[in-house]
Amino acid sequence: MSKRMLVALLVLAIVMTSAFAAGTKEAAPVRETQVILGSTTEVNADFFDGWTNSATNAYLKALMEGYETVSWTREGKYIVNPTAVTSYTAVDNADGSKTYTFNIAKGLVYNDGTAITAKDYVFNILYRASPEAVELGASYGTGPEYVGYEAFHSGASRSFKGIRLLGEHSFSIQIDAEELPYFFDLSLVSVGPAPLHVIAPGVDVLDSANGAYLSDAFTADLLRETILTPITGYRYRPLVTSGAYQFENYNAADKTASVILNPKFAGEHDGAKGNIYRVIIKLTNTATQMDELRTGAIDMLQGISGGDQITRGLDLHDEGIVDFASYPRYGYGKIAFACDFGPTQFEAVRRAIAYSLDRNEFARQYTGGYGIIVNGYYGASMWEYVENAARLDQELNAYPFNLQRAEQELIDDGWTLNKDGRAYQKGVDTLRYKRVDGQLMPLSIEWANTANNPVSDLIATMLVPEVRKIGMQINGTTVDFAVLLDHLYKDGIDQPVYGMFNLGTGFNTTQAYWYYYSTDPEYFGVYNTNFIADKELEAISLDMKRTDPTDLKGWVEKWIRFQKRWNQLLPDIPLYSDVYHDFFNPRIVNYDSGSTWDFRYAILRADVK
């Protein structure tokens, strides 16, 4: 079958300026081109890092951020950003630590015209690592690898010893010796500016022999006012930003958000400044999204998975309505578990659920052949998997559909009682119980899902009836995706409700396994979304972290050891890692997406003809 794609977009508004006096040239017209990206993931109100991070919001936040010291390239490498950094040094110190010193380019400004200096970079580090940010309820994970982090983060010291403000356009970051070697070395010192004058007005960034620090005006109360004020706070309305695009609008009623070009942006690491004037993200319905693409209600669909939807998109391509790009997914679709309460806190229950689902048939029905099954925390395009697929197939449990093994997992884990505390009798009792902390716990799991979702439909028909046969009950509740994320992250949730969720995940280009599976409660939520506290898994991930960047063989061996432990614990059940398709209007040109070069990078370098 041939390929296909469309995208109805382009709202052309030509703004003509008045002619000068006779004999002079007119100013060039401004083409206000526009692209509407349809997404089944609802945009929420969070446009500043530290809180929820849905894929759609992450795209918009990335478009509004710029001038990072270290950039990710299309070739899959980290480089020092020549637009932001005029020169830098990396010095290995006698105590085993390493100091990076950056000299920031002069003339960089925010979209409001305010000059960007080294203070904005240092402020971004200090704010994110501060106890005041924790008091706000924000989660960043910034700075644990830097000298002096613990003392600063805990509030024991007002100065961050490993961060120095060296001049108007110069600062340094010192990586602690205990954190080296570090496999993603250069990524550790990737930091962008944050608008000090907006987030912390009246606060100054200062320096001493003990490190950089913030003046006394920096308080949690100030941050609550500037960041958390409903509607107007920086979390919800970041009007001053440094990236190629700037915030325009968020409409909770019609589930849309938009950004427009920042004319003051000096460029990405490769000089890209953005060409499309306005980018809008709009909520779409899986059942009707291809119709919206056909009619021009939207211009683009990104990361499309599922055989039915891909086939419909390719049909549009055959008709000449759309173009498309396809690439293996750097992530997977999954059932995610809350591993800190209820039945799903027990790994045997999670394994029993895996044995109760025919994942091969599930993937066949959903992907239509455009995907594979994975058995660990990896996606189809990750190089570690590509180079070791045969070994992983041999060494990881594929959890084939087997209700007898599922039932045995439950029996071995103590789910052998009925509601009266007597022995569970198959064929007589319908629900298993286990005695936990002196109380009978029912094997009943609350499952949060979203509407108009074919994955939810398949789980309801292929998994829920099967687990009933082994004495388990899964109760599905359909919620908005934003609500699902709040419960997944336990953001503002005092009493957890759901032990099971279905959603997709896209991996970061640097997979910080040591954060995602840290047992430190501070990382629970935004990073460790499973709330799993397994010391062995954490220890393996920390060992991975300390791998020399040149030791690829050593990294792979540790990575496989991690996958084997993860495969036993099953904080997620991977359902499929598919071939993503981006479908778009043929008037969108130079759109070049890939497994690790997604919408946020590709749209910035695309144009509308």
Q: Which residues of 389-404 are buried (b: 16+ CB within 10 A; e: fewer)?
A: eeebeeebeebebeee
Give the pLDDT score at 12. 29
Contact between residue 344 and residue 338 where contact means Cβ atoms under 8 Å apart: yes
Better-predicted residue by pLDDT, 392 or 76: 392
* % pLDDT > 90, the chain: 87
Confidence class for position 30, pLDDT limits 50, 70, 90: low
Q: What is the mean pLDDT of residues 533-555?
A: 95
Whole-angstrom CA distances from 72 to 77, 78, 306 are: 6, 5, 29
Give yes or no for residue 1 having a pLDDT over 60: no
Averaged pLDDT score across all residues of the chain: 93
Q: What is the mean pLDDT of residues 248-257?
A: 94
Whole-angstrom CA distances from 425 to 62, 313, 415, 433, 466 are: 55, 50, 11, 11, 17
What is the sign, positive or negative, of the torsion defined by CA atoms of 494, 498, 499, 502?
negative
Give yes or no for residue 21 having a pLDDT over 50: no
* % pLDDT > 70, the chain: 95
Give yes or no for residue 7 having a pLDDT over 50: no
CATH number belonging to the domain at 14-63+243-322+585-608, selected among 3.40.190.10, 3.30.365.10, 2.40.40.20, 3.40.50.10310: 3.40.190.10
Confidence class for position 272, pLDDT limits 50, 70, 90: very high
What is the architecture of the domain spanning 70-221? Alpha-Beta Complex (3.90)
Confidence class for position 29, pLDDT limits 50, 70, 90: low
Superfamily classification of domain 331-408+443-579: Dipeptide-binding Protein; Domain 3 (3.10.105.10)
Q: pLDDT (tens digit, 9 = 90+) per residue, 116-167?
A: 999 999 999 999 999 999 999 998 888 999 999 999 999 999 999 999 999 9
Give yes or no for residue 3 having a pLDDT over 50: no
Q: What is the mean pLDDT of residues 484-498?
A: 94
Q: Which strand (E) or helix (H) includes residue 430?
A: none
Q: pLDDT (tens digit, 9 = 90+) per residue, 427-476?
A: 999 999 999 999 999 999 999 999 989 999 999 999 999 999 999 999 99
Report how far Cα 70 is from the mean position of its chain's Cα atoms.
18
Question: For the chain, what's the residue count?
Answer: 609
Whole-angstrom CA distances from 313 to 17, 239, 302, 579 are: 41, 36, 11, 13
Same fold, 70-221 and 331-408+443-579: no
Give the pLDDT score at 2. 39
In the numeric block, the tokens 């899986």 are attached to 286
Q: pLDDT (tens digit, 9 = 90+) per residue, 180-201?
A: 999 888 999 999 999 999 999 9
For the chain, the structural domain boundaries read: 14-63+243-322+585-608, 70-221, 331-408+443-579
Give yes or no for residue 11 having a pLDDT over 90: no
Least-confidence region, from 118-122, 252-256, 335-339, 599-603: 252-256
Report the 3 state secondary structure along 269-335: CCCCCCCCCEEEEEECCCCCHHHHHHHCCCCEEEEECCHHHHHHHHHHHHCCCCEEEEEECCEEEEE
Give the pLDDT score at 352. 98
Give the span between the Cα atoms of 311 and 219, in whole angstroms: 54
- Integer Rg of the chain from CA: 25
Give the pLDDT score at 73. 94
Whole-angstrom CA distances from 115 to 111, 118, 156, 189, 263 are: 10, 10, 32, 22, 15
Contact between residue 274 and residue 30 where contact means Cβ atoms under 8 Å apart: no
With residues binned 3-state (H G I as helix, E B as strand, rest as coil), the percentages for the chain, rounded to 5, are 30, 25, 45
Contact between residue 286 and residue 293 where contact means Cβ atoms under 8 Å apart: no
Give the span between the Cα atoms of 388 and 553, in whole angstroms: 11
Q: What is the mean pLDDT of residues 251-264?
A: 95
Give the pLDDT score at 139. 85
Give yes or no for residue 23 having a pLDDT over 60: no
Give the span between the Cα atoms of 292 and 286, in whole angstroms: 10
Give yes or no for residue 89 having a pLDDT over 80: yes
